[in-house]
């Protein structure tokens, strides 16, 4: 098996769905910016060196249809000199694309690959534009189509996660994210976007040009008292609120992976390695507990223990499942989502795994840590987890 190295990992700023900076921007445009930004971060490597482009998307249709990965390469100026594949493992799509790129290079099927994720939750409705349930599947396994908010309520009930603990967790996510932005921790991982947005007012066309460089989700001024007043949004008498749920968002992220021969021939500096990746099934009704199944599996695969993992990016699909996962596995909360999570920063579905990878790798370098993990629950009843080794310590 060939050695595989990550030499670059970046993301766009994350926009608030429907009313944010990317709400009316074609996703191919900002995915292309992330792709080009990832390659341009690597000295002695060029767009033409990318042999295949792997892109995760949880809703690969409409504006994200017709193999968006291929379109990103073409939009980057590679025309007929690029291939691409779009991957869908729902919330783990971005991490899955990185794992698949790693596997391809390790097996000798490629030398230089770009892998990432992109999602516009503004332009694509949840579940797709014209989703039709399969009646036979609905008869034999009705939980296949269970609303994600109801799974969060089920987890809260099953694992005795209180409303107060969820509110505290949500507040911490925003506070950590706001501090990270204030300290400039995300600057190195973010590719700023120069946008031009057109709109009509009073019958006239107006064009707004601006630079988008800071995540839009984090909110200042929240308090436990204000969060406690919010109503449940998924179930009458429930405990999951809009504030304890991940934000609907738009964004893209990419990593560049190479084999050892390319690393040496181009005199590239390795950033990290993906040393393990695992997916595991869980009860669909409790899909938020996916990491509880995936994390032990990837630890066994790598021969590591939880004590070896120094930093964790746990996707905050909901506060209820994040708290339950931390409690069930005995994770150290002080190393989980140190710069905020999806409750504050957003969860652009198919992009999220790639986005969290960029955040994890940069934070591991900043703290000089060796091992870190990206993990998430996945709709339908899955969990995914990847372990990365920092090579810049």
Total residue length of the chain: 393
18: left (phi over 0), alpha (psi -120 to 50) or beta: left
Which contacts qualify for 232-239: CB closer than 8 Å, 24 or more apart? 232/153, 233/149, 234/147, 234/149, 234/150, 234/152, 234/153, 235/149, 235/150, 235/153, 238/153, 238/156, 239/153, 239/156, 239/161, 239/162, 239/163, 239/166, 239/320
Q: How big is the chain by its Cα radius of gyration, in Å?
A: 20
336, 177 contact by CB (below 8 A): no
Q: What is the pLDDT along the chain (393 residues), one digit of tens a residue?
A: 999 999 999 999 999 999 999 999 999 999 999 999 999 999 999 999 999 999 999 999 999 999 999 999 999 999 999 999 999 999 999 999 999 999 999 999 999 999 999 999 999 988 888 888 999 998 999 899 999 999 999 999 999 999 999 999 999 999 999 999 999 999 999 999 999 988 777 888 889 899 999 999 999 999 999 999 999 999 999 999 999 999 999 999 999 999 999 999 999 999 999 999 999 999 999 999 999 999 999 999 999 999 999 999 999 999 999 999 999 999 999 999 999 999 999 999 999 999 999 999 999 999 999 999 999 999 999 999 999 999 999
Q: How far apart are CA 272 and CA 274, in angstroms?
A: 7
Q: Has this prediction a pTM greater than 0.85?
A: yes
Q: How far apart are CA 43 and CA 156, in angstroms?
A: 48
Q: How far apart are CA 71 and CA 102, in angstroms?
A: 22
Q: How far is CA 351 from CA 58, 95, 205, 301, 342, in A?
A: 8, 8, 32, 25, 12
383, 377 contact by CB (below 8 A): yes
* Structure confidence by residue, pLDDT tens digits, 74-96: 999 999 999 999 999 999 999 99
Report the pLDDT value the prediction gives residue 125, as an integer from 0 to 100.
83
Catalytic residues: 91, 347, 377
Helices (H), the chain: 27-40, 68-73, 93-106, 135-140, 148-158, 163-183, 224-228, 260-265, 290-302, 319-329, 342-345, 352-367
Which residues fall within 8 angstroms of residue 174, CB to CB, at 6 or more apart? 218, 219, 220, 222, 340, 343, 344
Report the pLDDT value the prediction gives residue 131, as an integer from 0 to 100.
86
């Amino acid at each position: 098996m060939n050695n595989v190295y990550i030499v670059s990992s970046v993301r766009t700023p994350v926009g608030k769905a429907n009313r944010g900076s990317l709400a009316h921007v074609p996703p191919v445009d900002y995915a292309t910016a992330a792709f080009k930004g990832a390659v341009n971060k690597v000295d002695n490597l060029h767009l033409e060196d990318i042999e295949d482009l792997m892109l995760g998307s949880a809703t690969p249709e409409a504006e994200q249809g017709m193999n968006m990965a291929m379109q990103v390469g073409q939009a980057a100026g590679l025309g007929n000199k690029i291939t691409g594949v779009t991957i869908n493992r729902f919330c783990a799509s971005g991490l899955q694309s990185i794992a698949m790129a790693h596997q391809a290079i390790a097996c000798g099927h490629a030398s230089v690959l770009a892998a990432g994720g992109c999602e516009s939750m503004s332009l694509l409705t949840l579940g797709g534009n014209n989703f039709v349930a399969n009646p036979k599947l609905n008869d034999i396994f009705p939980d296949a189509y269970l609303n994600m908010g109801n799974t969060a309520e089920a987890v809260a009930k099953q694992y005795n996660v209180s409303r107060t603990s969820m509110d505290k967790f949500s507040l911490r996510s925003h506070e950590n994210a706001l501090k990270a932005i204030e300290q400039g921790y995300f600057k190195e991982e973010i590719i700023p976007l120069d946008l031009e947005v057109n709109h009509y007012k009073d019958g006239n066309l107006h064009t707004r040009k601006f630079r988008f460089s800071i995540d839009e989700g984090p909110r200042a001024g929240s308090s436990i008292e204000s969060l406690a007043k919010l109503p449940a949004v998924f179930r009458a008498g429930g405990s999951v609120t809009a504030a304890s749920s991940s934000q609907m968002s738009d964004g893209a992220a990419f990593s560049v992976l190479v084999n050892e021969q390319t690393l040496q021939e181009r005199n590239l500096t390795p950033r990290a390695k993906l040393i393990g990746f695992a997916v595991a099934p869980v009860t669909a009704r409790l899909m938020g507990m996916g990491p509880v199944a995936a994390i032990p599996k990837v630890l066994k695969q790598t021969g590591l223990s939880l004590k070896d993992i120094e930093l964790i990016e746990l996707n905050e699909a909901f506060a209820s499942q994040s708290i339950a996962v931390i409690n069930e596995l005995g994770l150290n909360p002080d190393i989980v989502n140190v710069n905020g999570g999806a409750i504050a920063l957003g969860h652009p579905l198919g992009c999220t795994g790639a986005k969290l990878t960029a955040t994890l790798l940069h934070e591991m370098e900043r703290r000089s840590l060796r091992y870190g993990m990206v993990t998430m629950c996945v709709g339908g009843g899955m969990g995914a987890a990847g372990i990365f080794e920092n090579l810049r310590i």
